[in-house]
Chains A and B, each alone.
Chain A
Amino acid sequence: MATVMETQNGIKQTLAYPQKKPAPRVWRLLKAYPLVFLGGILVLGLIFVAVFAPQLQHFNPNQQFQNGLSAMGGPLPPNSTFVFGTDDLGRDIFSRVLFGARVSLEVGVFSSIISLFIGTSLGIISGYFGKFVDTVIMRLTDIMLAFPLILFVVALVASLGQSITNLFIAIGVLGWAVTARVVRAQVLSVKEYEYVQAAKALGASNWRILTKIIFPNIIPPVIVLTTLSIGNNMLLESTLSYLGIGVAPPNASWGNMLAEGQQVFQYAPWLLYYPGLALLLAVLGFNLLGDGLREAFNPRRVR
């Protein structure tokens, strides 16, 4: 029967049309979503800078240099020694921006992983088992979303003590609500797919359906969400450090650099330019990457 189906008669070969070999998937994706590419470059650049900060640094970021201050005792503008200039304590802004990248990335990534883990677990439980459990988890999520996250984090960091570790734990433990919602919605829709019904009809157990079918389906949205949340959490870290709750001086963070720069920005604006620009590019990078991935994962766009 098979051969009959595929070639009714001998002429099919002669009918075959020369088919262009499709370009590799990665290349097609890049062409379709150039912004993912830009986002990816920014993110890779950030990771590179953060990892190799000790090798890239010009000076010790926390060291105060005598020659880093002007005759009047003020910060130096960018020059051949200090390429991004110095701050009002005579520290090298270039090296401090490099180390700020480390802090930002560390807090952004680890807090997002914690949120991802909590949010995904609660979302799956809520969506798959439904009923009472679902109601409880979703009301809890509503409460989490109803309060400003930053207030929660401030309170938690204040009680845990100020450190980078406590910062990302606080952000991560409190920031899962959006992930949980998205995962739950995805589980609910996947659960209704006919191929899930088919698996159930074949006798597949709940565990098998969860791990083999539902889980692979929630990975794409979760990757997108996590990418976006890394950017957001980096911004949150900066906000907290700016407010003096995050990374404690003398350690560098883009947030506390902005806070310090703010006091002298009228005559030394470079104190704001470089950490501000770094923060902008880093968050932009993650957001572009996340938005791009969302497009790329959308099965209705590129095949």
Chain B
Amino acid sequence: MSTILSVEHLTTSFGTTSGYVPAIDDVSFHIDKGETLGIVGESGCGKSVTSLSIMKLLTANGKIQSGSIQFEDRDLVKLSEADMRKVRGNDIAMIFQEPMTSLNPVHKIGKQITESLRIHKGMRGPAARARAIELLNLVGIPRAAEIVDEYPHRLSGGMRQRVMIAIAMACDPKLLIADEPTTALDVTIQAQILDLMRKLKAERQMAMMLITHDLGVVAEMCDRVVVMYAGKVVEQGNVRDIFRNPTHPYTIGLLNSIPKLDERKTRLDSIPGAVPSIENMPAGCRFAARCEHATQRCADADPGLRDVSGDYQARCVLV
């Protein structure tokens, strides 16, 4: 399968009072056409920074310091802001966690959908409106012809997330980046949205990058998984391998610490301690302080990503 997005050695830093601090450090991964890649990790692991770097939507104090982001035949890092605007919403679309704030409250739903049609396809007037209604139908919004003239506050959280997906789908993107798309939603609504996303992806042969902290969502949606910890990729591979035979102690700990519905356990396994802060990263393996297998060698130097098997790597001396 051909690769649609290839991120190589990406380092993105943020300016703080004590200088630039890397939020993600030497991150590499790729996404194939029609594939769903899950990026999973806890808060502060850099998963959102990764997606914002790809979209080049970093805040003013953040910048890409090194690395490349190859999308089809272009390196997005080198693209000008004007060229990047042609990519955003057109080739790569993004949906965010918070459906309540990602829609503009002062514009009607229809206008917000046709906006990207106008920018990227030059479509306006009745044609654009018809397409907007078509898109709303596509994402399963009932009474689409009426909703198109409503303001966002009239819709529930789940419905707004559907509208966000409709906007993302407007220009038939080749890659959809979904940053915690269901985290703010209730579990029954989450099931609806995940179902919709899976359906759309299958119909359109679209690649998807799904960022989440929820291992359950990853298991259901993804083909391959990248596990991030404290700004680094610690493990990546096929979803089955990672859930069946996780290699990195962090991934193992993470999987063991979630309560499972079909088990009756009195105690959960947990990972002691907390994630190191971004300004105070240890020199060696960043997980060493919380790892039960850590030795002095882990503290001294980063082990680097090592091949476990074909398409499966882990950043651990145990490999």
List residues of chain A with CB under 8 Å of any chain B CB: 4-9, 11-12, 14-17, 19-20, 28
Contacts and interface: CB of A to CB of B under 8 A. Distances in A.
A19 B292 CA distance: 25
6 contacts: A8-B291, A11-B298, A15-B282, A15-B284, A15-B288, A15-B289
Given A6-B273, A28-B17, A11 B294 contact: yes
A7 B283 CA distance: 17
A8 B289 contact: yes
Interface in B268-319: 272-273, 280-284, 288-292, 294-296, 298-299
A204 to B, nearest CB: 31
B266 interface: no
A87 B120 CA distance: 69
Contact of A19 (B280, B284, B289, B290): B280
Given A4-B272, A17-B282, A9 B294 contact: yes
A5 B288 CA distance: 14
B61 interface: no
Given A11-B295, A11-B296, A17-B282, 15 more contacts: A4-B272, A5-B273, A7-B289, A8-B272, A8-B289, A8-B291, A8-B292, A11-B294, A11-B298, A11-B299, A14-B299, A15-B288, A17-B281, A17-B283, A28-B17
A14 B273 contact: no
B313 to A, nearest CB: 24
A33 to B, nearest CB: 13
A8 B17 contact: no
A11 B288 contact: yes
Contacts of A4: 272
A9 B290 CA distance: 8
Nearest to B271: A8
Interface string B60-79: 00000000000000000000
Nearest to A12: B289
B44 to A, nearest CB: 16
B101 interface: no
A11 B297 CA distance: 10
A8 B280 CA distance: 18
A14 B283 CA distance: 10
Counting chain B residues whose Cβ lies within 8 A of the other chain, the interface size class is 10 to 19
Contacts of A9: 292, 294
A9 B249 CA distance: 15
Contacts of A12: 289
Contacts of A8: 272-273, 289-292, 294
Nearest to B280: A17
Interface in B102-134: none
A20 B296 CA distance: 24
Contact of B272 (A5, A17, A20): A5
A15 B296 CA distance: 9
Given A6-B273, A20-B18, A15 B292 contact: no
Nearest to B298: A11
Contacts of B273: 5-6, 8
Contacts of A6: 273
A134 B280 CA distance: 49
Interface string B160-175: 0000000000000000
Pick the 7 closest A-B CB pairs, nearest first.
Answer: A15-B282, A14-B299, A8-B272, A11-B299, A17-B280, A15-B299, A12-B289
Nearest to B293: A9
Contacts of B298: 11
A161 B315 CA distance: 83
Nearest to A18: B280
A183 B281 CA distance: 42
A175 to B, nearest CB: 35
Contacts of B289: 7-8, 11-12, 15
Contacts of B299: 11, 14-15
Nearest to A13: B299
